[in-house]
Amino acid sequence: MPFQNFIIQHQNKPYTTNYQSSKGGTIVCQERESKYVYKYKSDENFIKLQIDGGLISNQNTPKCDYLLLNCTKKNEIAYYHSIFIELKGSDLTHACEQILATIESLNNNLKGSILHARIVLSKVPKPNVQLNRLKEKIMKKYQCTLFYQCRLIEEGSDKNGYPSHSRYKGN
């Protein structure tokens, strides 16, 4: 399984943090005024990978900031979710480009995983035509959910390990 091999290959690297607790916990990704918070349950196992400056260190390669991997087994069924996180100022188009480039770079390693993209902006973005094409490509080509919001996204998992939309918070 590519996803499991990817986790094994990266779980003890300096850019990786493992999250598992009998009480559950919180994973935080923050940069300046943009913050992403994931509250996980006691039966969930997460790995947080720093992508920019970590897993992908090439300065010339577009990439998102973080990748959360939910590798949870419930009732003998494994749930694999990959959450790509970009923390940005106001350039939503560039954030989508970074998410897309990271998905394309890591896609073979994440086969069998359900993909999600989260972009936290510090300022309200200006929509444009290129942005709509990028969002459509991310969502349709990779069956990836995409959500963006200003300042803070806070979420947790539903019963199947999906990021729960009922826990999004905005300004």
What is residue 76's predicted lDDT score, i.e. its pLDDT?
A: 67
| Domain edges within the chain | 2-167
Among candidates 128, 118, 102, 117, which has minimal Cα distance to 150? 118
What is residue 16's predicted lDDT score, i.e. its pLDDT?
A: 77
Residue ranges of the alpha helices (H) in the chain?
Answer: 2-10, 92-106, 129-141
What is residue 47's predicted lDDT score, i.e. its pLDDT?
A: 86
d(CA 81, CA 72): 9
Sorted by sequence, the CB contacts under 8 Å of residue 83 that are 6+ apart come out as: 38, 67, 68, 69, 70, 116, 117, 118, 163
Sorted by sequence, the CB contacts under 8 Å of residue 87 that are 6+ apart come out as: 29, 30, 31, 32, 34, 35, 36, 65, 66, 119, 120
pLDDT in tens, the chain (171 residues): 566 677 767 767 777 777 666 678 899 999 999 999 999 888 888 888 999 988 888 889 999 999 998 887 766 666 789 999 999 988 999 999 999 999 999 988 888 889 999 999 999 887 788 888 899 999 999 999 999 999 999 998 887 778 875 444 443
What is residue 64's predicted lDDT score, i.e. its pLDDT?
A: 96
Q: What are phi and psi of 37, to 5 degrees?
A: -125, 130
What is residue 165's predicted lDDT score, i.e. its pLDDT?
A: 59
Element (H or E) spanning 86, and its range?
strand 77-88
